[in-house]
């Protein structure tokens, strides 16, 4: 799965809430909860990078990427917005 496909699933959960979806529950709890999750996952990435096996680091970065995409969606932004910013910095 690529980032865009994952983002489309996140958008689908936002626009068509499902009671069984973790993603839907994040949107229902709101921006403060989503931002909190990004912070928690960031800390877990640091711990994994410094003191855990590669697989654990991969898992934590995946969690951080997912929650960051949820945060983008909650703010009405997209991965393309990030890519445009990175492209500007490259020039």
The residue to which tokens 């932004």 are assigned:
77
Residue of 38, 86, 46 whose CA lies nearest to 66: 38
One of 3.40.50.2300, 3.30.70.580, 1.20.140.10, 1.10.287.1080 is the CATH number of 3-90, namely 1.10.287.1080
pLDDT of residue 57: 98
pLDDT of residue 10: 98
Model confidence at 91, in pLDDT bands (50, 70, 90)?
confident
Q: Are 48 and 56 in contact (CB under 8 A)?
A: yes
pLDDT digits over 38-79, tens only? 999 999 999 999 999 999 999 999 999 999 999 999 999 999
Domain boundaries, given as residue ranges, for the chain? 3-90
Model confidence at 19, in pLDDT bands (50, 70, 90)?
confident
Q: Are 44 and 55 in contact (CB under 8 A)?
A: no
């Amino acid at each position: 799965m690529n980032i865009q496909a994952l983002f489309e699933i996140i958008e689908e959960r936002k626009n068509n809430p499902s009671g069984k979806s973790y993603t839907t529950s994040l949107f229902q709890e709101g921006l403060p909860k989503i931002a909190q999750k990004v912070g928690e996952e960031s800390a877990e990435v640091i711990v994994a990078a410094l003191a855990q096996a590669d697989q654990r680091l991969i898992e934590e970065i995946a969690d951080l990427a997912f929650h960051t995409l949820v945060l983008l969606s909650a703010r009405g932004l997209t991965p393309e917005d990030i890519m445009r910013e990175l492209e500007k910095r490259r020039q």
